[in-house]
Structure 1
């Protein structure tokens, strides 16, 4: 019922809607409406109540990652049209894997907090309550498993493009991190469920530091957030922008096998092309120069002996010469 009430209030824009009208539309008593409005206020919605006028939302968009807030004005056809919102969860990726078979392509799992958020290789990902965007998107593409790694590049391109469109000068650290001022702002964790010749589903996990000001000691030198860098953006606006960009690039790839726009964005916002970095694999470290990203989304590098090498996504990690990147 609260979801329906806030949806009606959002759709009323700046106009008051009376308790009587809400009661008629939703088929409950005015007393029940009042109780739900009170609960919504306590959860963070800034709802103005005026005698003989009714209710209206004072601040829009409210920075709560609910389905109603995100879907209001969301310009997608399927990605994000089904949103499952949690106040807290262990891991959005783990939950998505459990329920993927029961939900449609493009379903989003999003939480205000993760208690066991993780990145690549099982590394812990700090996911404090109300401080970031911790979400997972369930994708069900009709592609071969060998085509799935490119989805990670699509995600990175979507996030970088959406943030740059909002005025944030981000770049992409191939293949799965988004960087701001030389530090990690966002991580992407893509997990695949597949048979030999078909993909069952792809679990696309995205973690973005938005409001975090203090990081755990082991990552404080390499991680940052939008607020820490001076960008006071709404989490709702960011999510909408990412989902919109993701649908465009994902649809191009799945329906037409078109990689052009994704690769263009990845090259345009690359944090590594033209730079010397260390390629890390196990305990080995090799100095290479990043030359380009090829049509398969793999990184083309030049070794110290001037030979050219292709690095596949997920095969090797890269680090900057004097820091994270």
Structure 2
């Protein structure tokens, strides 16, 4: 009970500073909103400093946060978060095998929609087809988002494409670099992979219980830090932007953009998402080869259907629908 009270106080305190947008907040206001003494306010400020926050305190003006620690915690994400639903319940771990596994368990336990699972490191991070995702400590965003959309199960793949758009928009905001979406679930920067998305569903025949969306973002890896087998095809935001990335800020931006798109999608359908997705798509108009478990299809990528299915025109003029597979670009 005491730990929960401290957590609630810390969330309220960070919300107060967030609402101030960098301005000073008086000790009197903090005392009033927290329901504590001025001496207790001073102690809370010292606790923030111990966590790595840089605070400025001026007599008669109060306190303000001038810098945050380079780490991901629930408090860090909450400070400045501009959403109503997404990220309002945060499950944070220093290290997990996979955020997807934890999110699946939490979803079955009935946690609210918008709950996110975030970790500083994953020991068994995975992407599509159970491929390993390199997730070292304090270098990236390793996150899973729990949704409970009232849509037909067959429409769930659209949420992968929605996620890609939200992440692409967030990257543009944070590092001012134009990312490229590679169907179905990768985001590239300068044709190297920086982000992967994994969508999994818990559903009955005609009803979705939950959709778990895993997002892995290479943020602060330096050149030479990737495993040898991916060093020529992977990159990080820091490499491409030539600066370290505030990972909490990136998470906030992803959640903010996702929530706006998600509301649009639930209210108006997939059309707007489709247009935005195609504006980021790297493959459209290019000759590609798509390798799936069943076959290989070669041709020109035309776009996606309203269901998110890739359309390819082959050399004989036939248009084929591709539901899953790996894209390879052809010269």
TM-score (norm 1): 0.86
Name whichever of 213-222 and 46-55 sits farther off: 46-55
Distance 1:63 1:174 in 2: 32
* Structure 1 residue 178 corresponds to structure 2 residue 187: yes
Distance 2:201 2:55 in 1: 42
The 3 A distance-change label for structure 1 pair 254 and 148 is: same
- 5+ residue gaps in structure 2? 1-5
Select the residue among 91, 99, 106 that pairs with 1:92: 99
Shift of 1:118: 0.9
Aligned to 1:189: 198
Select the residue among 277, 301, 305 that pairs with 2:312: 301
The 3 A distance-change label for structure 1 pair 149 and 32 is: same
Shift of 1:183: 0.5
The 3 A distance-change label for structure 1 pair 272 and 278 is: same
The 3 A distance-change label for structure 1 pair 54 and 239 is: same
Aligned to 1:278: 289
- Choose between structure 1 and 2: higher helix proportion: 2
SS in 2 for 1:128: coil
- Once the two structures are superposed, residues 146-165 of structure 1 have per-residue CA deviations (whole angstroms, 9 ceiling, x without a partner) of 11111111111111122234
TM-score (norm 2): 0.84
Aligned partners of 1:9 and 1:17 also within 8 Å: no
* Structure 1 residue 69 corresponds to structure 2 residue 39: no
The 3 A distance-change label for structure 1 pair 36 and 77 is: closer
Distance 1:261 1:77 in 2: 21
The 3 A distance-change label for structure 1 pair 74 and 43 is: closer
Distance 2:321 2:297 in 1: 14
* Structure 1 residue 137 corresponds to structure 2 residue 148: no
Select the residue among 177, 200, 203 that pairs with 2:209: 200
Q: CA RMSD in A?
A: 2.7
Q: How many residues align?
A: 317
The 3 A distance-change label for structure 1 pair 216 and 15 is: same
SS in 2 for 1:87: strand
Shift of 1:26: 4.2
Aligned partners of 2:148 and 2:209 also within 8 Å: yes
Shift of 1:81: 2.2
Aligned partners of 2:15 and 2:80 also within 8 Å: no
